[in-house]
Amino acid sequence: LAGVSANLPDEPSWRVVEGVRWRCWDGDFVVFNPLSGYTHVVDIVTGQILTLLTSGRTTVAAVRSDVSAFLEVPDDDKLADTVHGILLRLEDAGLVERLD
Amino acid sequence: MFICLERIATWHRRSSRRAVVSIGEFSIAISLEASPTGLAGPIEELYGDYPQLDPDTLPDVTVALRPQRGGRARSAVRAFANGVAPYDAVPLRWALPVMEATINWYVWGHVARVLLLHAAAVERQGRALILSGPSGAGKSTLCAALLARGFRFLTDEIAMVRPRDGQLEPHPRPISLKNQAIDLMAEMLPDAYLSQRFHNPARGVAAFMRPPTRSIAAAGKTASPALVIFPSYQPDAGFELRPVERAQAFTRLVESSANYLTLLETGFETLANLVEACDHYALNYPSLDAAVGAIEDLARAPGRIRKVA
């Protein structure tokens, strides 16, 4: 994931693409994209980010803070890279979108 | 009791026969066009217990068996579903298997009002048990064995899940049995009607069993999905029953569905609701007795095994 964060602005906002829906079972998230028709199974951290972004426009800093608290790990560069990597993968899958 | 493939006079075929049978929410018109002697009897036997509708009823599908013209005209037949023939012509003695395969082909590719899963299903006390797995996993044999223990038969090949309320609509068509399962079921269900046997050098022997009369009579009564089993017949392995996580069950059921993708949000919601409503288990079984016993235990005590080791 090294270098991923360099592709993103410092403070972009993100949100879940309209119509995306999911279920969470035992820490696994099954996510449906109505535009592509694809169903994705994602881990609990990715699901946590999706859940947070459902509330609407959310900054990367807010996502990092939420994931930091969720995983009980420091909000450092390593976490920033992880969060950015997840956001990019979600964007590639058409599940979230950048607003800035 | 027999259905009657009525002789109907048409302008182009004077000896056609047709019957419309009701199978729960589904109806099939069976049409034998210029039918050769001997074709109607086995079909009438196999579908003998199904309610027969007026021959003029507009069915979900019309399956027509037509003799082939040309070199082997007198001994070959081809099956059409609403005018389309998915398979080549076959010798007359294979009319029944190709008719059943053609009906399956039609349902699998054309029915969109329900979520379709490649699965067998039975019911007890209103709770449906779904047996999901690829061909050869032992679904039909296990299903038939459960019928012998008093479960109600819902379907052998195609489970229909209703999006509106998640109910399983029975589709109790004839049960397709293969190889050793034929003799086994003849022994376990001695009163059940079994068709003639069809020998295929590549696939072995196949036969069709008419579902129990009470299951056919109750075809309009839906059941609530409660248990999903992923069976795998492994004669040389040990018995194993283990819970399956819901996300894994979901993906396995997606793979078994004919129309999950085309139903889009409806497919996702219907399947997700089914997964949430059910307990899920993988069952590897070397013997039928062990498998049936385990399933009966689960059916009696749902949720008894919860943790994945």
Minimal C-alpha gap between B270 and chain A (Å): 12
The band of B234, judged by pLDDT with boundaries at 50, 70 and 90, is confident
Residue B178: in which H helix or E strand, if any?
Answer: strand B175-178
Give the pLDDT score at B57: 85
**Among A23, A30, A34, beta carbon nearest to B264:** A34
**Structural contact between residues B218 and B170, judged by C-beta atoms closer than 8 angstroms:** yes
The per-residue pLDDT for range B171-209, each reduced to its tens digit, is 999 999 988 889 988 898 888 899 999 998 888 899 999
* Contact between chains at A41 and B251 (C-beta distance less than 8 A): yes
Burial class (CB in 10 A: 0-12, 13-18, 19+), B12: exposed
Mean pLDDT of A52-62: 88
Are B272 and A26 a contacting pair at CB < 8 A? no
Chain A CA closest to residue B264: A37
List of E strands, B46-174: 52-53, 61-67, 76-81, 90-91, 115-124, 127-132, 152-155, 158-161, 168-169
SS3 content of chain A, % helix, strand, coil (to 5): 40, 25, 35
Cα gap A94→A43, rounded to integer Å = 17
Note the pLDDT of residue B301: 67
Residue B19 has pLDDT above 80, yes or no: yes
pLDDT at B103 over 70: yes
Per residue in B245-268, pLDDT (tens digit) is: 999 999 999 999 999 999 999 999
Cβ-Cβ contacts under 8 Å, A41 against chain B? 247, 250-251
3-state SS, residue B215: helix
A35 touches chain B (CB under 8 A): no
Residue B306's pLDDT is: 44
Residue B67: pLDDT band (50, 70, 90) is: confident
Q: Is the pLDDT of residue B8 over 60?
A: no
Beta bridge partners of A22: A31
Asked whether the beta carbons of residue A34 and residue B275 sit closer than 8 angstroms, the reply is no
Q: Look up residue B92 and give its two tokens.
A: 């007359």
Identify residues of B whose CB sits under 8 angstroms from chain A CBs: 245-248, 250-251, 254, 261, 264-265, 268-269, 272, 275-276
User: 3-class DSSP state for residue A93?
Assistant: coil
CB contact under 8 Å between B247 and A41, yes or no, is yes
DSSP track, B34-63: TPPTTSHHHHHHHTTTSPEEPTTS--SEEE
Q: Closest to A26 (Cβ–Cβ): which among B246, B251, B265?
A: B246
* B117-169 per-position pLDDT tens digit: 999 999 998 899 999 988 878 888 899 899 999 999 999 999 999 999 999 99
Query: pTM of the prediction?
Result: 0.88
Chain A residues in contact with B259 (beta carbon < 8 A): none
pLDDT of A79 above 90: yes
B275 vs B161: CA distance, rounded Å = 12
Q: Average pLDDT in the B282-293 region?
A: 91
A36 touches chain B (CB under 8 A): no
Residues of B in contact with A29 (CB under 8 A): 247
**pLDDT value at position A7?**
44
The answer to whether the CB atoms of A28 and B268 lie below 8 A apart is no
Q: CA–CA separation, B274 vs B246, rounded Å?
A: 10
Phi, psi for residue A39 in degrees, rounded to 5: -115, 135
pLDDT at site B308: 37
